Structure 1
Amino acid sequence: MALVLVTLSGCTADQGLTSPPSPSIASPAPQPITELYELAAGTVLGTGTFDASTKVPVSGTVEISTDSGRLTLSVLNLDLGPTESTVTLELNALTDDSSAARFRTARSYVADAPVLTTDRQTFDIAAGNGYGDQLITNDPSWMRTAVLWEQVDGITFGRVMATAELVWAVPDMHPDLAVVDSGEVATARGTVIYDSAGNPSGYVVAPQDALETIADRFGITVADLLWLNPMRGWAEARADETINLSRYERGR
Structure 2
Amino acid sequence: MPRLATSVLGSIALVLGLVACSPPTTETPPVDTDAHSAAPVPPAPSDRAANVVIPDGVIGTAELTSVSRDNTVSGTVVVTAGGGGFDVALKDFRSDVPGDVQLFFSPWSETTTCLADMYSFSFGNLSTDADQPGLSLGNRDSSRGDPSYFLTAVITANALSTTDPDGCVLTPRAVGTITWDVPDTRPGLLAVDTGARFGAGGATATATATATATATATADGAPLSYRAVAGDTLNDIADRFGITFDDLGFLNPLTSRQLQAGDDLNLRVALRGGGSVPPPWA
Long gaps (5+) in structure 2: 1-48, 205-214, 275-282
User: Structure 2 matches for 1:12-23, cutoff 5 A?
Assistant: none
**Contact 1:145–1:166 under 8 Å retained in 2:** yes
CA distance in 2, matches of 1:249, 1:165: 17
Q: Which residue of 1 aligns with 2:156?
A: 149
Residue aligned with 1:227, SS: helix
Q: What is the distance in 2 between the residues matched to 1:142 and 1:118?
A: 28
What is the alpha-carbon distance in structure 2 between the residues aligned to residue 115 and residue 144 of structure 1? 24
Partner of 2:145: 138
CA contact (8 A) 1:87 1:114 kept: yes
> Alpha-carbon deviation of 1:32?
6.9
How far the C-alpha of 1:48 sits from its partner, in A, is: 0.7
CA contact (8 A) 2:190 2:268 kept: no
Q: 1:241 aligns with which of 248, 260, 263?
A: 263
1:176 to 175, 188, 199: 188
After TM superposition, the structure 1 = structure 2 runs for residues 1-252 of structure 1, keeping only pairs within 5 Å, are 34-36=52-54, 39-40=55-56, 43-53=57-67, 55=69, 56-80=71-95, 82-100=96-114, 103-104=115-116, 106-126=118-138, 134-150=141-157, 151-154=159-162, 155=164, 156-192=168-204, 193-195=215-217, 197=219, 199-232=222-255, 237-252=259-274
SS at structure 1 position matched to 2:237: helix
**Which letter does structure 2 place at the counterpart of 1:171?**
P
Q: What is the alpha-carbon distance in structure 2 between the residues aligned to residue 236 and residue 53 of structure 1?
A: 36
Tell me the CA shift for residue 137 of structure 1. Answer: 1.8
Normalised by the length of structure 2, the TM-score is 0.65
CA distance in 2, matches of 1:249, 1:76: 30
> 1 CA distance for matches of 2:125 and 2:77?
15
Q: CA deviation at 1:34?
A: 2.1
One-letter amino acid of the counterpart of residue 153, structure 1: S
Contact 1:95/1:165, CA 8 A, preserved across alignment:
yes
Check 1:182–1:115 CA distance in 2 against 1; reply closer, same or farther (3 A cut).
farther
- Cα separation, 2, equivalents of 1:108 and 1:66: 20
User: How many angstroms does 1:117 deviate by?
Assistant: 2.1
Give the AA of the match of 2:104. E
Contact conserved, 1:211 with 1:236, CA < 8 A, in 2? no
Contact 1:115 1:121 in 2 (8 A): no
- Structure 1 range deviating more: 223-232 or 113-122: 113-122
**Structure 1 gap ranges (5+):** 1-30, 127-131
Q: Structure with the greater relative contact order (CA < 8 A, sep ≥ 6): 1 or 2?
A: 2
Q: Cα 1:117–1:195, aligned 2, differ >3 Å: closer, same or farther?
A: farther
Bigger share in helix: 1
| RMSD over equivalenced CA pairs, Å | 2.7
Residue by residue over 1:117-152, the C-alpha shift from the partner in whole angstroms, topping out at 9 and shown as x without a partner, is: 2123332222xxxxx784332111000100111235
Superposed CA deviations along residues 192-227 of structure 1, whole A, max 9, x for unmatched, are 310464642222222232222211212222232111
Counterpart in the other structure of 2:209: none
**Cα separation, 1, equivalents of 2:140 and 2:244:** 24
Number of equivalent positions: 209
Tell whether the 8 Å contact from 2:80 to 2:88 is kept in structure 1 after alignment: yes
Greater radius of gyration (CA): 1
Report percent identity of matched pairs: 26
Alignment partners' CA distance in 2, 1:212 and 1:72: 32
Tell me the TM-score normalised to structure 1 length.
0.72
Letter in 2 for 1:34: V
**Aligned-partner SS, 2:238:** helix
